[in-house]
Chain A
Amino acid sequence: MSTTIAQRPQLSGQPSDLVGARLPRWAPIAVGALAVALALGIRFALGWTGWGTAFFTAAALFVIILTGWSFSVEGVRRAKDRLASTLIYACFVAAVVPLVLILSYIAIRGIPAFSVDFFSHSMNGVTSRREGGGLYHALIGTLEIVAIAAVIALPIGIFTAIYLVEYGRGKFAKAVTFFVDVMTGVPSIVAGLFVYTFLLLGFGARPFGAAGAIALAILMVPVAVRSSEEMLKLVPRDLREASYALGVPKWRTILKVVLPTALSGLITSALLAVARVAGETAPLILLTGYASSINFNPFSGDQATLPMMVWDQLGKRSGTGTSDLTEARAWGAALTLVLLVLILNIVARLLARLAQPKTK
């Protein structure tokens, strides 16, 4: 037996209510070309010299013409849609273009400085007029200081987040949340000044690496708290209740159910918090100083870091002269710092994927 689906009567020639007038698919491209041509025409007619005004004129013309055309053909709803879409795309481009420009410029300036020697030598005895030298001392300093900061800040951050999500009720928890929010906005130099006053001035100590690490830890804690808190909140209530219903105490539920389930997110948030402070400079000026030679000991003596090396090589620290050589080394150190943060992000993503709960 076969069934036939009833055919809807086709009223030829009569447009359906469901089909509205649309601009052709090529409309945005055509309007774009028209806007650019118009802007160029205006530029020559009025004798503008720069390109910036012409660019913004073209952008404004594009928005006005496309929205106007759309309004006259497609009606008010579609015109609004085109206007909003255009603005959103424009914002996206405005956000991405500077980022791409900065990264590519650092890469172009930094790569020429890269060599095996650059990564295996310090700046000990290398003057602004001499070739050679490298960032080994600064890389060691940055890795050590950031590692110490992470060791101090991440446990505090994650435990605070556990408190806020699992235990925190009432006024005290609200106060903790409030102060964490306030701390997120503390300028890094203020954290540096705080440690400088109490640790270096208080004990009459010379700058050393770990002092900088403490300041970085202060900056890391609120970031770690906030991001870990969000991750722990994502763990469904159901899982906690399932564990309680099996007669499991709360602390073991947190340890064995909540933390493993949120592990992937916690790793991401920890490494992003580390990446956030890796390039911090202001507190390190006060607290770790700078040494052109290699200092492995973060607890004694000035220690170089990558941001401080950029500062030093640009002649800002000592007021000495610069040369093409020092500038190249500064860009090389800057690129290394960016790559370090990039590697941290990639590692975070890989670890997070490994730690994710599997379904297959």
Chain B
Amino acid sequence: MAKSIDVDNLNVYYGDFLAVEGASINIAPRTVTAFIGPSGCGKSTFLRTLNRMHEVIPGGRVEGKVLLDGEDLYGPGVDPVNVRRTVGMVFQKANPFPTMSIYDNVIAGYKIAGSRKNKREFDDIVERSLKGANLWEEVKSRLQRPGAGLSGGQQQRLCIARAIAVEPSVLLMDEPCSALDPISTLAIEDLISELKVNYTIVIVTHNMQQAARVSDRTAFFNLAGVGQPGRMIEYDETAKIFSNPTQKATEDYISGRFG
């Protein structure tokens, strides 16, 4: 189910502006990869190119290849809608659909896309996804209540349940804990290490301890200055990045000397 990601020399543009230059990465299936770096260095932008979500922003385009199990996401005839079904995403701000109940939020990927399933299949998906997101015990008695009535941490886990309900191969997380308190953050971090068994996970985070705790490999992004493109400076085992990085900039960043 989980798939590998191979990116070779990718440039990302917004209009004429080069946002990320020459990024290359190889992500093995069933691993957690963390992207760290200062604000504006292009790590979120790069993450979005992994399921073509950057195209939602006007002018967003790429040069280069992103291979998912060897298949180019930007090849001719590839439908971004199908890409996003395979590569799911969780956002910085929890964004459950306000018009839907908890139950309907979990199966939103099926319901909105118009796929027909019977009630029992949906019940199974809801239970499995909410259990997978460690939310089942907290909400099983009130599945028909609005999703927007949950706490911030619960809403974020609801969004993770929604993302895994459609059974993607890869799960992208864009700063999923930055708006959460430490207890909710811990719940999500535990969840990430459980999800790793089935999914390839890529997480953007500003919290270096979090990157060190949850990830197997870490990529450090940086930019030379305002208006300059972001670059991937170093990509290695997390333990090596945090103990003995090769690049000076990486060492400066993780030791808090800048950024």
Contact = CB atoms under 8 A, between A and B. Distances in A.
A253 interface: yes
Nearest to B111: A256
A252 B114 contact: yes
A239 interface: yes
Contacts of B91: 238, 241-242, 245
A246 B146 contact: no
Nearest to B51: A245
A8 interface: no
Interface string B95-129: 11111000000001101111000000000000000
Contact of A239 (B84, B95, B113, B166): B95
A240 B56 contact: yes
Contacts of A256: 111-112
A246 B162 contact: yes
Given A249-B81, A260-B99, A357 B146 contact: yes
Interface string B146-184: 101100000000010011001000000000000000000
A165 B163 CA distance: 26
Contacts, number: 87
B84 A247 contact: yes
Nearest to A235: B98
B81 A248 contact: yes
B113 A246 contact: yes
B105 to A, nearest CB: 10
Interface residues of B, number: 33
A232 to B, nearest CB: 14
A258 to B, nearest CB: 10
A358 interface: yes
A342 B33 CA distance: 60
B146 A245 contact: no
Interface in B16-33: none
A236 interface: yes
A256 B113 CA distance: 9
18 contacts: A169-B58, A241-B95, A242-B97, A244-B84, A245-B163, A246-B109, A247-B86, A247-B88, A247-B113, A247-B166, A249-B81, A252-B113, A252-B114, A256-B112, A260-B99, A261-B97, A358-B149, A359-B98
Given A245-B84, A257-B99, A359-B148, 10 more contacts: A169-B58, A239-B95, A239-B98, A246-B88, A247-B85, A248-B112, A257-B97, A261-B98, A358-B146, A360-B145
Interface of B: 51, 53, 56, 58, 81-86, 88-89, 91, 93, 95-99, 108-109, 111-114, 145-146, 148-149, 159, 162-163, 166
Interface of A: 169, 236, 238-249, 252-253, 256-257, 260-261, 263, 357-360
